[in-house]
């Protein structure tokens, strides 16, 4: 699973860097992609992954990282091709898992450093598993947000570019999403599955007042539009309806939870 770990680290790092407040988002994506590809090469050398099978898997990791950054960026810019971007990431991940028999266990300088730290949890840990856990955590951050956004756009839960967005009515999703995914993954790894389910339930409770307010606002605007057709209709048209907000919340939440749960399954497989 060492190749999958490096792929997740590269993709997660690329998206994390690209998500920073760049004045030119294209520059951010390029810097992120270069950082992700550099991390694959650097970690492969540090972990001693230099066999022929490793090189083949690292090539897949590099191509997947580059393809993901390019295709996800194009989908964001044009509001088209979300499915292709998601398929590219899924295909690269699946290949890394199916061909994981080619990979050699991570070790090298990374393994020696883990032993040198003297930290009991690290000194006795498998370097491959350490890399995998790092990659899975990174994937819960910006990459998870990108996946959710692409699925929302692909299913029509997001309006075309420039239209009123349901996200305007539910603030904080870009921060709450990564936080809940990391919590779910961490609690699941600790064996606290019940506590993880409480986190999922808590999100619904936290969002309930906002959904109620969005419902009342939609009813008020619809009634006002019937009373004063011109100005009020323009205002209603510039605001996402309660149906859009609900669809956005449900699809976005389930996809976000699915990202965390898939990561938890992969962690147990590794």
Average pLDDT of every residue of the chain: 81
For residues 217 and 162, state if they share a domain.
yes
Q: Is residue 256 part of a domain?
A: yes
Last residue of a domain, one of 62, 81, 114: 114
Q: Is residue 8 part of a domain?
A: yes
Evaluate if residue 121 carries a pLDDT over 50: yes
Q: What is the pLDDT of residue 234?
A: 47
Mean predicted confidence (pLDDT) in 71-87: 89
Q: Is residue 150 part of a domain?
A: no
Q: Is residue 144 part of a domain?
A: no
**Above pLDDT 90, what percent of the chain?**
30
The C-alpha atoms of residue 206 and residue 211 are separated, in whole angstroms, by 10
For residues 96 and 167, state if they share a domain.
no
- The better pLDDT of the pair 51, 214 is held by 51
Q: Which two tokens stand for residue 37?
A: 């590809």
Q: Is residue 14 part of a domain?
A: yes
Please, what's the largest Cα pairwise distance for the chain? 74
Q: What is the pLDDT of residue 170?
A: 58
Q: What is the pLDDT of residue 231?
A: 47
Q: What is the pLDDT of residue 168?
A: 56
203 touches 257 (CB < 8 A): no
For residues 105 and 161, state if they share a domain.
no
For residues 178 and 75, state if they share a domain.
no
Evaluate if residue 69 carries a pLDDT over 50: yes
Mean predicted confidence (pLDDT) in 16-43: 89
Q: Is residue 101 part of a domain?
A: yes
Q: What is the pLDDT of residue 146?
A: 92
Mean predicted confidence (pLDDT) in 214-237: 53
122-159 pLDDT, tens digit each: 777 888 888 999 999 999 988 999 999 899 888 877 76
Q: Is residue 267 part of a domain?
A: yes
181-222 pLDDT, tens digit each: 898 888 888 888 777 777 777 766 666 566 666 555 555 655
Residue 21 host element (H or E): none
- The better pLDDT of the pair 136, 237 is held by 136
Q: Which domain holds residue 256?
A: 155-270
State the pLDDT confidence band at 56, using cuts at 50, 70 and 90. very high
Q: Is residue 134 part of a domain?
A: no
For residues 180 and 87, state if they share a domain.
no
The C-alpha atoms of residue 56 and residue 103 are separated, in whole angstroms, by 9
How many structural domains compose the chain?
Answer: 2
Residue 131 Cα to chain centre, angstroms: 17
């Amino acid at each position: 699973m060492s190749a999958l770990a490096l792929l997740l680290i590269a993709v997660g790092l690329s998206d994390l860097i690209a998500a920073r407040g760049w004045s030119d988002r294209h520059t951010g994506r390029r810097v992120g992609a270069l950082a992700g590809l550099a991390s694959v090469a650097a970690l492969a050398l540090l972990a001693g992954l230099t066999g022929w099978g490793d090189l083949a898997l690292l090539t897949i990791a590099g191509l997947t990282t580059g393809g993901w950054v390019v295709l996800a960026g194009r989908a964001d810019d044009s509001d088209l091709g979300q499915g292709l971007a998601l398929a590219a990431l899924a295909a690269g991940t699946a290949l890394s898992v199916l061909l994981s028999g080619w990979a050699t266990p991570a070790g090298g300088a990374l393994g020696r450093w883990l032993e040198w730290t003297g930290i009991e949890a690290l000194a006795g840990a498998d370097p491959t598993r350490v890399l995998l856990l790092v990659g899975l955590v990174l994937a819960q951050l910006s990459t998870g947000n990108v996946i959710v956004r692409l699925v929302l756009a692909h299913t029509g839960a997001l309006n075309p570019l420039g239209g009123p967005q349901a996200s305007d009515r539910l603030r904080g999703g870009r921060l709450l999403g990564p936080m809940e995914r990391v919590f779910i993954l961490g609690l699941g790894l600790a064996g606290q599955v019940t506590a993880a389910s409480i986190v999922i339930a808590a999100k619904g409770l936290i969002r309930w007042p906002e959904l109620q307010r969005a419902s009342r606002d939609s009813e008020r605007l619809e009634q006002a539009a019937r009373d004063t057709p011109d100005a009020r209709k323009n205002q209603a048209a510039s605001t996402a309806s309660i149906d859009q907000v609900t669809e956005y919340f449900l699809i976005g939440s389930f996809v976000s939870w699915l990202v965390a749960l898939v990561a938890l399954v992969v962690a147990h497989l590794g």
